[in-house]
Amino acid sequence: MTKERLPHIHILAMGGTIAGRAANAAETVGYRAGAIGINELLEAVPQLTDIAEVTGETVASIDSKDMTEALMIKLARRTEECLLDDSIDGIVITHGTDTLEESAFFLSLTLSSAKPVIFTGAMRPATALSADGPLNLLDAVHTASSPDAKNRGILVVMNGTIHDASDVTKRHTSRVDTFQSPNRGAIGAVTGGHVHFFYTAAPVHNLFPIPSGPLPEVEILYGHENESRILVDALINSKVSGIIYAGTGMGSISETVLPALREAQEQGIAVVRASRTGSGAVIPTSDYPLPFISAGTLVPQKSRILLQLLLVKKMNPSEIQHVFNLY
Ligand SMILES: NC(=O)C[C@H](N)C(=O)O
């Protein structure tokens, strides 16, 4: 009898707490992210060899708070090469959780493949009591090996749940259930190695080639009571290409900042209204007609990435709004 070939899952390591080392096992907060190499990470989960032929490589060893656009592009390019490699069936990206959602969303906009690409990470360092990284890694490899995970774009597997890259966001500073999909909910679960999707695959929007150079400068502003226009004026003077305004409620803009943002638009700066609430959609309203762009359900940090890529295409506010309407 011939033995069935195990799927080949390739791991791309970016660092983060999943590869974090602390001085002792009780330490869950003070540690060095990205200190543990890919081999040690894989050796900690010997069960991986039962479900897949796992290989790995280090792309970066950083705390993801220091993630850069250049690294995001490097990660996208390397992932694309792996997707084109016929010997690889699926990819797992281990990543720091602080900006995991940005990288996952960027890859979802720039890569297209039927093969599963799964992001995972950890909230406790690898050396901690009850470290969550090893099980997250095992669950991610289970998902990357699952035929049901094909044609679903970029997914995030954390704490036994599967999330779509566009909705998932980090919602808690320290808990292991920090990743939530606040608008549409988790799309699946991994339980005892069983991968279960709750819904049929949603349409995947892969809209852009991987950018070849630096992206236009887009900054995020955070709305609050008693606002001044100091920061908007600074951004106008800096000649940024875009502003994401994380407004109060449904992207509301105070009477102080509104004229400043209108001036920014007159200078050719694209302005997107998002929300500081963390969930729900910001939709176009008559209070804020075009050229104000509404972010839909995208959180400010993802709105920023989408706007950057749209500005590369030299789209006008109306065309940009059409794309945000997908979310
Ligand atoms: N839990 C984590 O991974 C946090 C860490 N600061 C990182 O993003 O790399």
Residue 308 backbone dihedrals phi, psi, to 5 degrees? -55, -45
> How many C-beta atoms lie closer than 10 Å to residue 190's C-beta?
23
Residue nearest to atom 1 of ligand 1 (CA): 123
Ligand 1 atom at minimal distance to the Cα of residue 63: 9
Binding-site entries for substrate: 64, 97-98
| Residues in binding site | 64, 97-98
Residue 244 phi, psi (nearest 5):
-100, 120
Which two structure tokens, joined as six digits, stand for 113?
């493949």
Entry pTM:
0.97
The total of other beta-carbon atoms located within 10 Å of residue 154's CB is 28
Q: Which residue bears the tokens 């909910």?
A: 185
Q: Where do the DSSP E strands lie in the chain?
A: 8-15, 53-62, 90-94, 117-120, 154-158, 161-164, 169-170, 179-180, 188-191, 194-197, 218-222, 242-247, 270-275, 293-294
- What is the position in ligand 1's atom list of the atom closest to the CA of 62? 9
Q: Which residue lies with its CA nearest to atom 6 of ligand 1?
A: 63
256 is catalytic: no
Segments in 201-316 forming alpha helices (H): 230-238, 257-266, 300-312
Q: Could you tell me which of 146, 92, 142, 98 has the C-alpha nearest to residue 120?
A: 92
**Phi and psi at residue 59, to the nearest 5°:** -95, -40
Domain 218-324, CATH number (from 3.20.20.70, 1.20.1250.20, 3.40.50.40, 3.40.50.10320)? 3.40.50.40
Q: Which token pair is 176?
A: 């292991």
Residue 239 one-letter amino acid? K
ipTM above 0.85, yes or no: yes
Q: What is the pLDDT of residue 191?
A: 98
Locate the ligand 1 atom nearest the alpha carbon of residue 122 and give its number. 1
Task: Show the ligand 1 pocket: residues with CB < 6 angstroms.
Answer: 16-17, 33, 63-65, 96-98, 121, 123
Residue 47 DSSP one-character state: T
Q: What separation in Å is there between the alpha carbon of 31 and the centre of ligand 1?
A: 10
Residue 148 phi, psi dihedral angles, 5° rounding: -70, -15
Give me the count of residues in the chain: 327
Q: What is the DSSP letter of 7?
A: P
Q: Are strands 179-180 and 169-170 parallel, antiparallel or unpaired?
A: antiparallel
Shared fold status for 8-197 and 218-324: yes
Structural domain boundaries in the chain: 8-197, 218-324
Q: How far apart are CA 35 and CA 280, in angstroms?
A: 37
Point out the catalytic residue in the list 97, 110, 127, 297.
97
Q: Give the pLDDT of the chain (327 residues) as one tens digit per residue.
A: 556 799 999 999 999 999 999 999 999 999 899 999 999 999 999 999 999 999 999 999 999 999 999 999 999 999 999 999 999 999 999 999 999 999 999 999 999 999 999 999 999 999 999 999 999 999 999 999 999 999 999 999 999 999 999 999 999 999 999 999 999 999 999 999 999 999 988 776 678 999 998 999 999 999 999 999 999 999 999 999 999 999 999 999 999 999 999 999 999 999 999 999 999 999 999 999 999 999 999 999 999 999 999 999 999 999 999 999 999
Atom of ligand 1 nearest to the CA of 98: 8
CA distances from 143 to 7, 28, 155 (A): 11, 27, 9
In the three-class reduction of DSSP (H, G, I as helix; E, B as strand; rest coil), residue 208 is classed as coil
**Residue 93: strand pairing partners:** 12, 119
The pLDDT score that the predictor gives to residue 3 is 61
Report the CATH fold assignment for 8-197. Rossmann fold (3.40.50)
Beta bridge partners of 121: none
State the distance from the centre of ligand 1 to the C-alpha of 8, rounded, in angstroms: 27
**Pocket-testing residue among 32, 61, 63, 137, ligand 1, by greatest number of atoms within 8 A of Cβ:** 63
Q: Are strands 154-158 and 161-164 parallel, antiparallel or unpaired?
A: antiparallel
